[in-house]
Structure formats: C-alpha cells, structure tokens
Amino acid sequence: FGRSTWSLIYSGIFLRMCFRFVDLHICDSVLYWDKGFRFVTTDVLCPNLPACNSSHVTLATQADAKLAQNQTFLRIQNLVKREEEEFQFNFTVCWSNLFADYNNVLQVTQTLEMYRLLGVQHVVVYNTSCGPDLERLLQSYTQEGFVEVVPWPINQHMNPSRGWQPREHGGDIHYYGQLTTLNDCVYRHMYQSRYVLLNDIDEIIAPYQHQTLPQMMDVLQRQNPKVGGGLRESHFEPSGRFERPSWRDVPGINIMAHIYREEPDYRISHPFKMIVRPRAVEQTSVHSVLRNFGQTVKVPPNVCHIIHVRVPLRRGLMKEELHEDKRVWDYERQLVPNVDKALEKAGLLIFGRKE
C-alpha cells in the first residue's frame, strides 16, 4: 500500500525465528507486542523513493536480482493521490475477525441495522469461518452491498489463537492475527472512506448527544480539526424487554433486551476503541493508534461510547450498581422493522421461512 512519504509495504505475519533474516536496511519494521507466540505480526514501512517509480514490492531474504525473479511481487496500491472530497463512503466499520462457528445472528443484524441508522455506509468483516445462519445473513447483506466480507483463511496456514496469551489460549498467533486485519482494513479504505470505525462485532460506537455519527463527527471535527478519536467502552446486562416472538428462534443475543451498563472500574486502565481518519493513520493497534499524522481526542462518554453486549466483566454486581442505558431504544421505531426486514430477506425470520 503506497503512502506519500513512507510505504507500508507489508502488514502481515512472520515466523518469529525467521524474522531476523529479513533485510530491512532501508526500511523500518515494527513488530507488535503479541509476544510469546510462534508467529508475530509486523508492519514493514519503507521510504517511498519518487525516482524509483515502483509499482510492485516484495520481501526477500537477500538483495539479489536473480533470486528476486522467483519472488512473489505485490502490486503497490493507493499510488494515485485522490482528492479529499472523493470518498465513496463517509463511515466504514471494520470488524476483525469472524471465526469458529460464531452464529450470533440477532445481535449482528441489530448491530448492522443500528449502524445504518447511525449513518454508516459500509461494514467490512474478516472471515475465517462462521455458523450456518450467520453465513446466510452475511450473504444477504453482501449481495445488497452494505457488507463486504474479506476472506481471512489464516487457519489454513497456521493454528490461530483465540486469545492474547499463548500459555492460556495456545495457538501460533494472537487472536487470529487481528493486528494485521485492522491495519489492512485501515489501508484498504484510506481512499474510500472518510472515517473508519475500529471495533468488535459485538460493539456499537454510538453517539449520545447526536442522532447520527456524521452529526457527531461534524461537531467533533470542528472542535478538534486534527483529530481521529478514541471512545470509552461499556458493558451491558440483561433486562428482559423486547422479547419479540418473531425473534425467539433467531440465534443470538437480543441487544435491545440489554439496557444495564456496567460502569467500568476506572482504577483499572480502560480500553478504548476508535474512529479514525484512515489517511492520518500509519499504523494502528486495537485500542490505540501507534503512528499517525494527526492528534487523538478521547471523546467523553456522554458524547459517545460503545454499546457492548457481552458477559459482565465484574461479577456479583447488583442492579443498583448498574447504569440504565436505553440508547438503542431511541431508534426502536425504525430499528425493529428494519431488523425484521433484514432477517426476512436472509430467510431467517420464523414466519419468513417456507419449510
């Protein structure tokens, strides 16, 4: 992927022991901290030499023209500079990574439809594998064009870990190589999307003072012109409303029935998620940008935070200790019929099934 000053020529995965053989004397390689695994993710950034007018790049173990003939060369993308106005999308969401038999159809549908109401035009998901119903749903959304599925068959090349601790979770590489997919998504959308939202599939980055993300970003961008943004995460507990009969047989969590937010324990450092301007990012991690051209602003939770429906982090919390949060209900009138329509289109709604 090309850049004006530096080119990220490779965001990918190395066998850790081989890494020292890579000749990088004009380049700068940045290994991530995903230590302890057999494979490590890394970005290789090389200076963009205008005189060279390079169109393809490769990584070789020796600088040798003859050996280079047998190398696989990758085309440098993003070489042509485009105008700021020419964005195909204003808001793109990047989800990494779909794996195992994840089949949380109801939550994914509600999340996608919620994002649509919030002004997102494009959702990208890196797919290693998924459950049968989610497969149908994603195919339906892909046909329509709202969702783009990027194949990520990392399990065919190594044994990816489901976690970040090799001792605890085993495997050859942290969390299905998430750091590579996130960087890939940012670079892929550098000239396609004004903003990119980096979050997990069970999270919604939601505005609390504005109806939509464009409205919120307009205000934030005016206040902080050089900024991407970082957002606080929150967690929810079940409350038991919005148990719609038609959704009863749809697999997955009903996020509309989760309205209690677990207030984070601020004594422990709390993770952030991000909305970034992809052109300002050189390298990203999960909770922060590692190298960028602009500045970062931590957005206060009353302006924007993450709706994250999952099991509670802190055990034994009483209802009184939880904060009620009905933000999703504010979109109910459009959200519920839109979710129904999407499920029906994918053949997943119970009265939509012709069996």
Ligand X SMILES: *[C@@H]1O[C@H](CO)[C@@H](O)[C@H](O)[C@H]1NC(C)=O
Task: Write out the binding residues for ligand X, residues 46-85 only, by CB under 6 A.
Answer: 53, 55, 66-67, 69-70
Point out which span in 19-27, 108-116, 133-141, 196-204 binds ligand X (CB under 6 A).
Answer: 133-141
Regarding 7 and contact with ligand X (CB under 6 A), the answer is no
Regarding 302 and contact with ligand X (CB under 6 A), the answer is no
Query: What Cα–Cα distance (Å) separates residue 165 from each residue in 6, 81, 127, 270?
Result: 32, 40, 22, 19
CA proximity to 125, closest of 134, 117, 113? 134
d(CA 246, CA 227): 43
Say if residues 10 and 59 touch (Cβ distance below 8 Å): yes
Out of 48, 71, 90, 285, the only residue in the binding site for ligand X (CB under 6 A) is 90
Closest CB 334 distance from ligand X, rounded Å = 18
Q: Which is nearer to ligand X, 46 or 137 (CB)?
A: 137
CA proximity to 308, closest of 329, 325, 331? 325
Regarding 129 and contact with ligand X (CB under 6 A), the answer is yes
CA 52, distance to chain mean position in Å, is: 34
**CA quadruple 137, 140, 144, 149: dihedral positive or negative?**
positive
Closest CB 164 distance from ligand X, rounded Å = 23
Say if residues 182 and 156 touch (Cβ distance below 8 Å): no
Q: Which residues, 6 or more positions from 342, have their beta carbon under 8 angstroms from its beta carbon?
A: 109, 112, 113, 137, 140, 141
Out of 130, 182, 286, 289, the only residue in the binding site for ligand X (CB under 6 A) is 130
Regarding 138 and contact with ligand X (CB under 6 A), the answer is yes
274, β-bridge pairs: 198, 230
Out of 46, 59, 123, 149, the only residue in the binding site for ligand X (CB under 6 A) is 149
Q: Which is nearer to ligand X, 69 or 72 (CB)?
A: 69
Q: Which is nearer to ligand X, 59 or 336 (CB)?
A: 59
Task: Write out the binding residues for ligand X, residues 197-236 only, by CB under 6 A.
Answer: none
Between 104 and 123, how does the x/- string for binding to ligand X read (CB under 6 A)? Answer: -----------------x--
- Which residue reads 């065919």 in tokens? 156
Regarding 139 and contact with ligand X (CB under 6 A), the answer is yes
Closest CB 111 distance from ligand X, rounded Å = 16
For the chain, the residue count is 355
Footprint on this chain of ligand X (rule: CB under 6 A): 53, 55, 66-67, 69-70, 89-90, 121, 127, 129-130, 135, 138-139, 149, 153
